[in-house]
Amino acid sequence: MTASRITRRQFVLATGAGTLLPVSAKASPFREIIWDDLIPPGVPYSEIIADGEIDVQNDTWNPIFDENATKLNTALDGAAVKLPGYIIPLDTGAAGVTSFVLVPYVGACLHVPPPPPNQLVFVTTTPPWPSEKLWDAIWVYGRLSARLQSTEIAEIGYQIAAENIEVYEW
């Protein structure tokens, strides 16, 4: 049995091949999740929203959330995640938005009652997200924290300090 020798050319070609892989083929440190993942296992979405009431003056339906709405998926606490959604701006300056609520559908919290707390994510970002891209669907990358907090818009179940934000490509 003879030992085969690798040539310098073969070594350079083999080590350089990994850099030619498309970005999507390389492992991402962020786990892609969907909104249903934020609901703890065993809690069906249909059991989160209880009875509600009609606000006749404003012609809106105000849901009354039951205790399942504030149950968080603590298995995701501290996880590096990638989550798609839409922006409801909270803090906006000349450079753009520095904090916002990430919501699962367009207009949530603005034109309709807010989703339950376990379907809302408070996001902070530096640098700011450009104001001209507020209506775009986006991906937010960062470490997820499962902790309830109150804002002027709604009770929010999760937080992310964004490491990256990009437009969601359909």
Assigned domain for 105 exists = yes
Q: What is the reported pLDDT for 127? A: 94
DSSP for the chain? -PPPPPPHHHHHHHHHHGGGS-GGGSPPSSEE--GGGGSPTT--GGGTEEEEEEETTTTEEEEEE-GGGG---GGGTT-EEEEEEEEEEEEEETTEEEEEEEESSTTTTTTSPPPPGGG-EEEEEEEEEPGGGTTS-EEEEEEEEEEEEE-SS-EEEEEEEEEEEEEPP-
Assigned domain for 21 exists = no
Assigned domain for 74 exists = yes
Q: How many domains does the chain have?
A: 1
Total-model pTM:
0.78
Assigned domain for 38 exists = yes
Assigned domain for 23 exists = no
Q: What CATH number does the domain containing 44 carry? A: 2.40.50.870
Assigned domain for 102 exists = yes
Q: What is the reported pLDDT for 4? A: 52
Q: Which domain holds residue 162?
A: 28-167
Assigned domain for 69 exists = yes
Confidence check: pLDDT of 11 > 50: no
Higher pLDDT, residue 9 or 37: 37
pLDDT tens figures, 19-65: 444 544 556 799 999 999 999 999 877 777 666 778 788 777 777 78
